[in-house]
Amino acid sequence: MRKIKPEAAAHAYDHVLYADNDQIRRTIHISLLCILVGAIAGLGAVGFKYLIEFFHNLFFQGELSFEINRGGTISKWGPFIVFVPAIGIAIAQKITQVWAPEAKGHGVPEVMVAVAENRGRIRPIVALVKSLASAITIGAGGSVGKEGPIVQIGASFGSTLGQALKLSSRETIILVGAGVAGGISATFNAPIGGIMFALELILPEYSIMTIMPLVISAIIATTVGTLFMGAHPAFIVPEYTMVTPYELIFYALLGLAAGILSVIFIRSVYGMEDFFDSIRIPATAKALAGGLVVGGIGYVSLRCFGNYHVYGVGYDFLDLMLDNKITALGVALALVLMKLLANTLTLAAGGSGGIFAPSLFLGGALGGAVGILVNMLFPETTGPVSAYAIVGMAAIVSGVTGGVLTAIIMVFEMTRDYAIMLPLMLSAVLSYFVSKSLYKETMYTKKLTRRGIQIQFDKRIPTFKTLTVGEILKREMVSCSPDDTVAKVLETMHSHALGLLPVLDGKQVLGTIGYAELYATQPEQDEKIASMVHRQQITIPSSSNLYDALKVMKSLETNILIVTSGNSIEGFVTANRIIRNYLEKKQQS
């Protein structure tokens, strides 16, 4: 057993307390670094937005321009527009294949696995490749979202900064989360939603150590974003007022339907991916074929509904839906199917982009369909179609990503309509439980489990920190005295099946003695053990939590601690006892 200096042993618990206090200083240090992380994430979000517009203008109009046209433009290519998504997806597929295969598809799972298994390490080139491939995919009409690339841009810079400064893995992971929060905040002008996205879907813990840096990054990134893109909400919606409490029944039904559609969406994405993987033709040929079908779907949308709608992130459609300008049930339902097919084909064919915006689209279309139907059946007792579209957006995001609070807060921030919060929360929660009841995976975790990577973040307050040693200690303590002989100590060990005993001299705790000390010195049977005691301060106050107790045990390399209250000995705890009580508590929670 490693010997510990007496002065170090005497203050092992004090060292644990000092380390806890030092976390505040480290948190402030990391938070200051997050000013830089937030600024880069905000600039990345702005730059990525303009990069998408550049490729969109290039592919759709043949112009070199960064002009932003949110309402959607009709291409000068006419029916030949069907070839544009095919070209864009094929280029994106080749870029990711050559330089960064992990940038293919939707990027959030790659950040999750970097946090869970790679100590927050992300290759810097991933952000560059992801940005270029996704901008080309979206700009050419690929039916994906932009949050995946933004997440990887912010996360990659946070990771690079952490590695460059040789921070601990935990601190590097916090910087990764700060980059994610900043990117999402700037992209959607939703700082609280960005923080929740990082906490709920990326980071493995809730604590001041993680929340404070995320807040700083989100504030800076949002400020940078608004300087370039304005401070307006992502979507403008009419004022909403709940007509009657009975309307919550309709929103509950919407939540149930959203949960089912969420599962269909998840299964469709990976089912289409498996189908494309089974086709034995070159990857470029797959990209061209899939992109051609996506192009065809968009052209059909143009001919039937006057706009491409399913191309790109689809905000033009959501603007119309939230402005109550889509009133035909058939249109809303048709666009659910068309967007579902276009998105799954884009990702399976090799396109790069996220699934958050497609989830918003599907939710808006489903919610709109429910709203149209309810208004047809109960025109006097229900709100506008736009209200159901907003709620549907949050419900699908909740069911698809598993981020319930993220969905609720982000959709609220993107619309800034507080009156809609009650039905929004109801539908989002119901959607999550329906989707989890039907399918245990989310869109993000499924991508990882298919590669044999299991990620299950438990965000509850750690049980180790909610129980004190005083609550689980054992009072009937088996111990020995420094005046006991070797024979007596061995007999005590054998009779109680123990390999380690605390050594007490009255009320004073001297340390421990075990087989290691007894057999290392090969003593005589009648020799007293006083000289063989491994002297260390193995006491801990009864008010200490289990987590601190484990840290003290690790520091002293012991499996037993004597629990004290003032000057009296209350009992003892062992590592096995702590773990057993922890598991029992977890089963009850």
Do 363 and 482 fall into the same domain?
Answer: no
> How far is residue 251's CA from residue 243's CA, in Å, rounded to a whole number?
13
- Do 127 and 111 touch, CB atoms closer than 8 A? no
The two tokens of residue 272 are 């289409």
> How far is residue 306's CA from residue 308's CA, in Å, rounded to a whole number?
7
Task: End-to-end CA distance of the chain: give it in Å, rounded.
Answer: 37
Q: Which of 358, 369, 422, 363 is nearest to 390 (CA)?
A: 363
Do 199 and 256 fall into the same domain?
Answer: no
Q: Which of 357, 389, 395, 383 is nearest to 370 (CA)?
A: 389
CATH code of 300's domain: 1.10.3080.10
For residue 9, tell me if it sits in a domain: no
Query: By three-state DSSP, how is residue 154 classified?
Result: helix
Query: By three-state DSSP, how is residue 243 classified?
Result: coil
Cα-based angle 476, 480, 485 (whole degrees, multiple of 5): 150
- Do 403 and 200 touch, CB atoms closer than 8 A? yes
Do 443 and 519 fall into the same domain?
Answer: no
Domain region containing 157: 27-229
pLDDT of residue 467: 80
Query: By three-state DSSP, how is residue 527 classified?
Result: coil
Cα-based angle 128, 86, 285 (whole degrees, multiple of 5): 95
| Last residue within a domain, chosen from 405, 422, 449 | 449
Helix (H) / strand (E) element for 563: namely strand 560-565
Helix (H) / strand (E) element for 39: namely helix 12-61
DSSP 418: G
Do 45 and 171 fall into the same domain?
Answer: yes
Cα-based angle 24, 28, 29 (whole degrees, multiple of 5): 115
The two tokens of residue 51 are 């990069």
- Do 485 and 492 touch, CB atoms closer than 8 A? no
DSSP 450: T
> How far is residue 309's CA from residue 300's CA, in Å, rounded to a whole number?
10
CATH code of 476's domain: 3.10.580.10
> Per-residue confidence of the chain (589 residues) as pLDDT tens digits?
334 343 444 456 666 655 556 677 888 899 999 999 999 999 999 999 999 999 999 999 888 888 777 656 788 888 999 999 999 999 999 998 888 776 666 678 888 888 877 888 888 888 788 889 999 999 999 999 888 888 888 999 999 999 999 998 889 999 999 999 999 999 888 899 999 999 988 888 777 778 899 999 999 999 999 998 887 777 777 777 777 888 999 999 999 999 999 999 999 999 999 999 999 999 999 999 999 999 999 999 999 998 999 998 888 899 899 988 999 999 999 999 999 999 999 999 999 888 999 999 999 999 999 999 999 999 888 889 999 999 999 999 999 999 999 999 988 888 777 788 899 999 999 999 999 999 989 999 888 888 777 766 555 556 677 788 998 999 888 999 999 998 899 899 989 888 889 999 888 889 899 887 787 666 788 889 998 888 888 889 988 888 889 888 888 888 889 998 888 889 999 888 888 887 777 665 5
**Taking the CA of residue 421 as centre, how many other CA atoms within 13 Å lie in the half-sphere pointing to its CB?**
9
Do 552 and 437 fall into the same domain?
Answer: no
Class of residue 492 by CB neighbours under 10 A (exposed 0-12, middle 13-18, buried 19+): middle
Do 180 and 253 fall into the same domain?
Answer: no
Phi, psi of 451, rounded to the nearest 5 degrees: -105, 10
For residue 370, tell me if it sits in a domain: yes
Q: Which of 455, 454, 453, 406 is nearest to 431 (CA)?
A: 406
Do 194 and 49 fall into the same domain?
Answer: yes
For residue 468, tell me if it sits in a domain: yes
Do 255 and 203 fall into the same domain?
Answer: no
For residue 72, tell me if it sits in a domain: yes
Q: Which of 268, 269, 261, 263 is nearest to 106 (CA)?
A: 269
Do 177 and 277 fall into the same domain?
Answer: no
Do 130 and 171 fall into the same domain?
Answer: yes
For residue 2, tell me if it sits in a domain: no
For residue 340, tell me if it sits in a domain: yes
For residue 89, tell me if it sits in a domain: yes
The two tokens of residue 145 are 């979202």
- Number of domains making up the chain: 3
pLDDT of residue 10: 43
Do 193 and 109 fall into the same domain?
Answer: yes
Q: Which of 160, 528, 140 is nearest to 352 (CA)?
A: 140
The two tokens of residue 287 are 């990209």
pLDDT of residue 6: 39
> How far is residue 403's CA from residue 382's CA, in Å, rounded to a whole number?
28
Q: Which of 79, 71, 128 is nearest to 352 (CA)?
A: 128
| Last residue within a domain, chosen from 449, 480, 500 | 449
For residue 21, tell me if it sits in a domain: no
Do 442 and 468 fall into the same domain?
Answer: no
| Last residue within a domain, chosen from 229, 256, 279 | 229
